[in-house]
Amino acid sequence: MNLLLIRLIIFAVLFLAGLKLYRMYREWKLEQEGQQANDSAEGGQMVRCAWCQVHVPEAEALRDKRAGEWFCCSAHRDRYLEEQKPEE
């Protein structure tokens, strides 16, 4: 009877360890898939607005070809270009 109880305890410990490893693997796999989805969904590279210095995804930013700068919105682009005119 003692041998049967020892085998049962060993089996339970192995089962719980396997279950814990499976859960850790599943969480790791979900994190990896989530990171890949975020990288492709957000458009990748971030750029800084020349006016307010806020970082925005390149896909959402506006680029002024004359100034060669990135902007988060058209209002900031216009303000930046107005300030640059007297200096030129």
CA 42 to chain CA centroid, nearest Å: 8
How far apart are the C-alpha atoms of 72 and 49, rounded to whole Å? 5
**φ, ψ dihedrals at 43, nearest 5°:** 85, 5
Residues 1 and 34 in one domain: yes
Element (H, E) at 9: helix 2-41
Considering the entire predicted model, what is its pTM? Answer: 0.48
Domain that holds residue 53: 46-87
Mean pLDDT of 40-69: 84
Residues 1 and 27 in one domain: yes
Q: For residue range 15-45, what is the model confidence (pLDDT) as tens digits?
A: 999 999 999 999 999 988 877 766 655 557 8
How far apart are the C-alpha atoms of 22 and 30, rounded to whole Å? 12
Instruction: Work out how many domains the chain is built from and give that number.
Output: 2
